[in-house]
Structure formats: structure tokens, C-alpha cells
Amino acid sequence: METALTKTPEKRQVIFLAILLFLWESGSEAISYSLPEETESGYLVANLAKDLGLRVGELATRGAQIHHNGNKELLQLDAERGNLLLKEKPDREALCGETEPCVLHFQIILENPVQFFQTDLQLTDINDHSPEFPDTEMLLKIQEIAQPGTVFPLKAAQDPDIGSNAVQNYTVSPNLHFHVVTHSRSDGRKYPELVLDRALDREEQPELTLILTALDGGAPPKSGTTTVRIEVVDINDNAPQFVQSLYAVEIPENSPLNALVVTVSARDLDAGIHGNVAYSLFQGAGGSQPFVIDEITGEVRLKGALDFEATPHYNMEIVATDSGGLSGKCTVAVQVLDVNDNAPKLTISSLTSSIPENAPEAVVAVFSVSDPDSGDNGRMVCSIQNELPFLLKPTIKNFYTLVTERPLDRESRAEYSITITVSDLGTPRLTTQHTIRVLVSDINDNAPAFTQTSYTLFVHENNSPALHIGTISATDPDSGSNGLIIYSLLPPPDQQLGLPSLISINSDNGQLFALRALDYEALKAFEFRVGATDGGSPALSSQALVRVVVLDDNDNAPFVLYPMQNSSAPCTELLPRAAEPGYLVTKVVAVDRDSGQNAWLSFQLLKATEPGLFSVWAHNGEVRTTRLLSERDVPKHRLVLVVKDNGDPPRSASVTLHVLVVDGFSQPYLPLPEVALDPAHEDSELTLYLVIALASVSLLFLVSVLLFVGVRLCRKARAASLGGCSIPEGHFPGHLVDVSGAGTLSQSYQYEVCLTGDSGTGEFKFLKPILPNFQDHSLRPEMRENPNSRNDWGLDIQLK
């Protein structure tokens, strides 16, 4: 589309039509419009909705915005009608300066969905400025010997317009000596030179005044004038000449004030005062310039700050003048080098502060970046932190969208602080950062989780009802009602347990209570499951196993199994009078229904007829003699033992033992009456015991002789290869005296008697039984327990 406005001499009007270059490829091509400068505000540039292919009113419903990208806000959008209007009168010279073409870039941003359209507005120049000379009067000193054809430079007029509207020609008022010639510089600007047509005669006319006129190429053309005053000076036939006609230098834009830019040099072949050269800035294109020259040394220094973005280069002319008025001219072209002195700029166009945690690729922000520097100093790189689940997606030129890379999880992280970093590629790099705070809203996507998969609770038996026995705990990382947890007991698979009568739970905090007293002996442990349900919709739940272990209290006293205490006749143990110290009289057996240390039993002798004769092993209840029996010891003893557990407080039971001292197991046992014996009866009993002892010793001697003879015969009958003898099987009578002195119990012992292999001896020895013996091992026979005769009351002697 192209729009043209015309302009009459009486009234300025628009003379061009706006031109639309509409090359549309996937929404990325720019829409271009063109109009002349100084167009009145409110002017209809174009129907944007039609150019974008949208319906009337769609721009308003989609929240259309104009992003001016740092430019002056020249345009405004009538979203309802879709018209793009001029907001204020544009001035091309103020907006673009000498830049041609003058193109202003804008972006059209639409939402729902997000779309970007690049729009370019080109301002064309009109002839709205007249040429102006920097001075109202120029002074030229010309020697009278100047030859016709000599050229004298003049200062050029300035015209902010460009192209054909700039200065195109110079004229001078009619005279006899000079005419003016118009030349073009490398940048296309025109400058005048005064050419001498006829020799001057100072004596005839020492001074001339000319009017210099500058004309532009507008229709109609505009003009500007200045006065050229010429002084004719005496002879000075050599003008200064510069070493170089063109000095090209480069200077960074951040150079300090008074920095040396360049040193120019001119020579004058004249001698004396006519050879002295003075340097001066003749003229610089573009008005005042930030340079100053030393008139003696020719050093050009910086007097003002440079800005590459405002003026990238300068052209100035330097004149060397001698004392006679002759001059030479050179051109200094200064190229300002860009330094990275502008940090990138970030502009947010759209921002969303809260995103649901399950939303895929949600748009968080839309923003643009810009940097007025050039080259690598103006190239930008945009980034965010690597560890965040967000992505930056470039759209059209220098526009980005910040989106989520994947669905977010509020329980892992409820808030993100996203720092957008924009860095240019200059040296050193300049960086701009902008931080965006994004909140993640919650959904019920997490079930409650118990701190343990199973809980083990311990409670002592005989507890008080409604006792708090423990607490279960579950957590839910969701927030609000989604994280509110309700605890409950789940129905057990075993309905016989009667769980509701045993346990209750606080639905708010998970505290468990025992509803009635527990009995360890009846129920040692039981299990049940609990549930935790959140308040979300739909609700999520989880389960955990709870095991309750009942701890034992010392609520049962020890019970004596042996000897029985409830029988009508008391239990009497027999003790041989010849028993040696450590003889096992009997063993008290007791049990305790409690467990652990409450069932650890210890035995203690509480009372005894002879306190120093018997002792009780504290851990196994064995009752043993502590010394040899004497004739003065009474034959009947009464022992009272206490069985005590290890509980707190301890419980105990007592047992009474009756021990009867006999001379041998062959003596029949008759219960003795509970009467006092007279001394004569005691002497007769002592004599009887002595007789029994002698008979036992004699019998033992005879048995030993028989065994010796048997071994000798066996040795002769069998060869030495056998190295032994046959072993007769069978049991000896149970009324024999215990030769080992190990005592009498309801157990049988088997002894082995073996002759030595040496034929020259007739010795034999007794092997020891398995049961312990407290006598000196060097004096007593060795014994071995025979498992085949555990229920006998006799001794087995076996040859080996």
C-alpha cells in the first residue's frame, strides 16, 4: 500500500501515499508504510486490520499493542476500526538526522494466541529547511599578485534536508574579478570555491564585497546568503601547502577530553613573516564539532565527548594561513570507533505470575531486547539459569517468549525466581538482568505418605484404659485442603481380634489409644492397618501396618515344679554319709509365666538344720554339700529354699526339702518320726553306719579282685593285636555304694574299667562319668555317662 500527500505553495500538504510491502511468510515478514515528514497528526496511515487479514474488531478482542522499540511514539491504533493513525507530526531531521532512508521500526503484538507483526514506517524528506551559512560574513585576504584561475575555498552552507532538497548550487553576485564553482564532496554534499577571473590591483581596489548565495534543489528552491569580504594584500607569492591533502584517523568514542586526534603539518616556502603558518579549523560538516586545533603546532585535540550512536564520523577542513594571507587547506576524516558502552535493554510486554503445576508449555512472559551499539557490541545473547524447567523461545527479531519446558511440580518447588540475562558480545561484555517471580499453583496429585511403612508400638500389660500408646504420622506435600490428612482404622481381615474394642485412633493427629487393659500372657502382640486420606477432590489415600507388642510386667510369681509342694507326703532326698563336698543332693525346678528378666529365676537357701552343710547354686537350683558329713551331723535335715524372679519388684516362692542321711543306698528308708532321739539310740545308729561302711568297702575290694582276674585272663586269651579285652555287659546291683562319691540322683551312671596294655602290670582304673565331680581329679576314678542307663539306680562297670 502506498499513500501520497501533495503540498501546495500556499499550504503544506501530504504529497506521498504510504507504501505497504506485504510479503507474508508464516507471520515473519514486515509490513512497510511510507509517508512524508511534517504530516499532520491524526492522519490515517492504513487500515491495519485489513492489511493483517483480520476482521473488524479482532484487534480489540486480541489486545493489540504497538511496541515502539525505543522510538518516539508516532503511531496510535484504533483497535475498534483497525485504523493505524499518526499520533503527532513527524520531523525526519529530528528522528533520523542524516540517516537515509529514515525507517522507524514498530511491532504489533496480538494475544490469544500470541502473534507478532513487524511494521516499518519510512519518513520521506520534504524541502522544509533553507540553506544557512555558518557566518554572516566571510573574510578573504588575497594577494594582489594572485593569477587568474586561482581558487579560493569558501565555507559551505548547511541544509538539514537530504537528497535533492539539500544544497545543490552556489552563485555569487555579478562582478569583474570572480566567479563561483560548485564542487561535491565524497558524501555528496556541495561546497563552493571562488575562482579569480581577473588580476587584482590593491592600489586600484583594496577591498571587494560579494554576495554568495546557496540554492537547494526543492520545488520551489530555497536559498541562503552570506557576505564575502575580500581584502587585497601585498605580495606573498607562496601559499602554505599541507603534507597530506587528506588525513584519515580513527578514534574510540570513549576517548578522554583533550585526547590527541591527529597532528597536521603545512609548509610555506616564503621566508620571514610570510613563512609563518597558523592553523585553524576552517569548517566541519554537520555544524559544531567536538575538536580544537593548536594554531602553532597543528595538533587536533578532543574538546567534547564522542558518541558513536549519535555521530559515527566527522569530516573537517583545516586551513594553514601565512602572515601574508595565503592559505592552504586539508581535510581530516575522523571515524569514531564504537566501544561497548551501552548495556542491552530488556522490555517486558506480557507477564503471567502464577502457573498450574500440570500445565505443559505455559507462556510465562513475552519480552524484547535491544542494544544501540554496532557490530558485536550490538549482538545479544539471551539466557536463563540452566537448572530451571523453563525455555526461551525466539520469535521475530529480538523478541522472546519464556515458556515452561515440562509440567511443573509444586511439591518439589512452589516458587521460581527466573533471572533473564541479556549479554552483548562486546569487549568487555555488558549484561542486563531482569528477575521474574513465578508461583506454581497446587493440584491434588500426591497421596498421603506415612513416615514409616510399618510401626511397632510397645505397651506394658495391665495398662490403664484409654492409654495413649503411640502416634502414627503421614505427610502430604500438597497445600490447602489437598494436604489435609484424616486418619482411620481399617477393618482387619481377622474379625475375631475385636480391634474396635482394643484400639481407637484420633482422626486429626493419628494418636492411638488402648481402650482396655492388655494381658501379655493372653495376647503378646497383634497387628492392624491404618489409613490416611487427604481432603482433595478426588481424595487420595495410603495405608500403613501397625504392630502392637505387649510388654511383660512381673505379675506372676515363680512356680515350683520339683519337688511337688502340694502332695500329701513330703519329698525326701537321700544323702550318703560318705558323700564328699560338692555332692549333688537334688535339683529344684521352677518356672515363671512371665518373660524376659521377669522370668529369670535365682535360688537361695533360706533355712537349714545345719546351715553350713548345704549350699544352693543360685542359677540352676542344684543343692550340694559343702563339706564332709561327721558323726555328729543329724540324719535328717530340713531345708527351706526361696525361688525369686528378677522382676521389679521381684516375686518369690518357697520350697521345703527333707534330706535323709544314710550309710548306703541298701538301707531301707523309713520315715523318721518327728521326736527327739536319745543319746543311746544315736550311738547305735553310728555303729550301724560303720558296719555298713565296712561291708561296702569289702564288697568293693572283692569286685576289684574279680575285675583284675578277668582282665588277666582276657589278656592271655587274646593276642596282643587286640590290645584289650572283652567287655561284659549288664548292670551291677543298685544297692552298691557310689565309689566316686558323686552322690545319688534319679540318674544312672556307667563306668568303664580298662586294664592297661602293659602285660607287666595289673593295674586298672575307673573312667569318670559325664556329670561333674567336685573331687580332686588325681585321686578319684574317671567316669563317663552311659546314655543307655539314665533311669537306673545302679552302676555299670564295663571293661575296656
* Mean pLDDT, residues 549-562 taken together: 85
Q: How far apart are CA 368 and CA 370, in angstroms?
A: 7
pLDDT of residue 667: 46
Assign 302 a pLDDT band (cuts: 50, 70, 90): very high
pLDDT of residue 790: 36
pLDDT > 80? residue 767: no
Lowest mean pLDDT among 8-22, 161-175, 273-287, 376-390: 8-22
The better pLDDT of the pair 409, 723 is held by: 409
pLDDT > 50? residue 215: yes
The better pLDDT of the pair 337, 15 is held by: 337
* Backbone torsions φ then ψ of 470, nearest 5 degrees: 165, 175
Assign 763 a pLDDT band (cuts: 50, 70, 90): very low
pLDDT > 70? residue 772: no
Q: List, for residues 776-800, the tens digit of each pLDDT value.
A: 433 333 333 333 333 333 333 332 3
pLDDT > 80? residue 536: yes
* Mean pLDDT, residues 541-560 taken together: 89
Could you tell me which of 497, 450, 452, 498 has the C-alpha nearest to residue 474? 450
Strand partners, 444: none
C-alpha cell at 184: 561535491
pLDDT of residue 664: 67
Predicted TM-score of the model (pTM): 0.45
C-alpha cell at 2: 502506498
Assign 90 a pLDDT band (cuts: 50, 70, 90): confident
Compute the mean pLDDT over every residue in the chain, rounded to the nearest whole number. Answer: 79
Q: How far apart are CA 127 and CA 461, in angstroms?
A: 110
Q: List, for residues 683-738, the tens digit of each pLDDT value.
A: 566 778 788 888 888 888 889 889 888 888 887 777 544 444 343 344 333 333 33
pLDDT > 70? residue 53: yes
Assign 25 a pLDDT band (cuts: 50, 70, 90): very low
C-alpha cell at 42: 491524526
Q: How far apart are CA 212 and CA 80, in angstroms?
A: 56
Lowest mean pLDDT among 323-327, 448-452, 465-469: 323-327
Assign 143 a pLDDT band (cuts: 50, 70, 90): confident
pLDDT of residue 567: 57
Assign 252 a pLDDT band (cuts: 50, 70, 90): very high
| Residues contacting 651, CB < 8 A, separation 6+ | 554, 556, 557, 558, 644, 645
pLDDT of residue 228: 93
pLDDT of residue 675: 39
pLDDT > 90? residue 62: no
Q: List, for residues 36-46, the tens digit of each pLDDT value.
A: 888 888 888 88
pLDDT of residue 230: 92
Counted residue by residue, the chain has a size of 800
Strands 584-587, 241-242: parallel, antiparallel or unpaired by DSSP? Answer: unpaired
Say if residue 671 is preceded by a cis peptide, omega within 30 of 0: no
* Mean pLDDT, residues 450-471 taken together: 91
Please state, in angstroms and as integers, the Cα–Cα distance from residue 185 to each residue in 43, 120, 156, 224, 333, following that order.
38, 31, 11, 20, 12
**Degrees to nearest 5, angle at CA 535 with 532 and 536:** 115
Spatial contact of 330 and 323, defined as CB atoms under 8 Å apart: no
Q: List, for residues 265-291, the tens digit of each pLDDT value.
A: 999 887 677 788 999 988 655 457 899
pLDDT of residue 345: 92
Strands 115-124, 31-36: parallel, antiparallel or unpaired by DSSP? Answer: parallel
Assign 209 a pLDDT band (cuts: 50, 70, 90): very high
| Residues contacting 279, CB < 8 A, separation 6+ | 264, 266, 293, 294, 295, 296, 297, 298, 318, 319, 320
Query: Per-residue DSSP letters for 348-389?
Result: EEEE--EEETT-TT-EEEEEEEE----GGGT-EEEE--TTSS
pLDDT of residue 548: 92
pLDDT > 90? residue 456: yes
Please name the helix (run of DSSP H) or strand (run of DSSP E) that holds residue 93, with its range, or none.
helix 92-96
pLDDT of residue 571: 72
Assign 70 a pLDDT band (cuts: 50, 70, 90): low
Q: Measured in whole angstroms, how far is the alpha carbon of residue 38 from the centre of its chain? A: 59
Grouping H, G, I as helix, E, B as strand and the rest as coil, residue 696 is helix
* Backbone torsions φ then ψ of 8, nearest 5 degrees: -95, 160
pLDDT of residue 665: 59
Strands 390-394, 399-404: parallel, antiparallel or unpaired by DSSP? Answer: antiparallel
pLDDT > 50? residue 676: no
E strand residue ranges, 492-570: 503-505, 511-514, 525-534, 541-551, 559-562
Q: List, for residues 642-654, the tens digit of each pLDDT value.
A: 999 888 889 888 8
pLDDT of residue 468: 93
pLDDT of residue 685: 66
Q: Is the dihedral of CA 301, 303, 308, 310 positive or negative?
A: negative
* Mean pLDDT, residues 444-456 taken together: 90
Could you tell me which of 644, 741, 657 has the C-alpha nearest to residue 696? 741
Q: List, for residues 476-499, the tens digit of each pLDDT value.
A: 888 888 889 999 998 887 776 788
Burial class (CB in 10 A: 0-12, 13-18, 19+), 347: middle
pLDDT of residue 688: 81
| Residues contacting 393, CB < 8 A, separation 6+ | 400, 401, 402, 403
Could you tell me which of 279, 324, 331 has the C-alpha nearest to residue 140? 324
- Scored b (16 or more CB within 10 A) or e, 478-503 reads beeebbbbbbebeebeeeeeebeebb
Q: Is the dihedral of CA 399, 311, 302, 376 positive or negative?
A: positive
* Mean pLDDT, residues 245-254 taken together: 93
pLDDT > 90? residue 10: no
pLDDT > 60? residue 437: yes
Q: Measured in whole angstroms, how far is the alpha carbon of residue 218 from the centre of its chain? A: 70
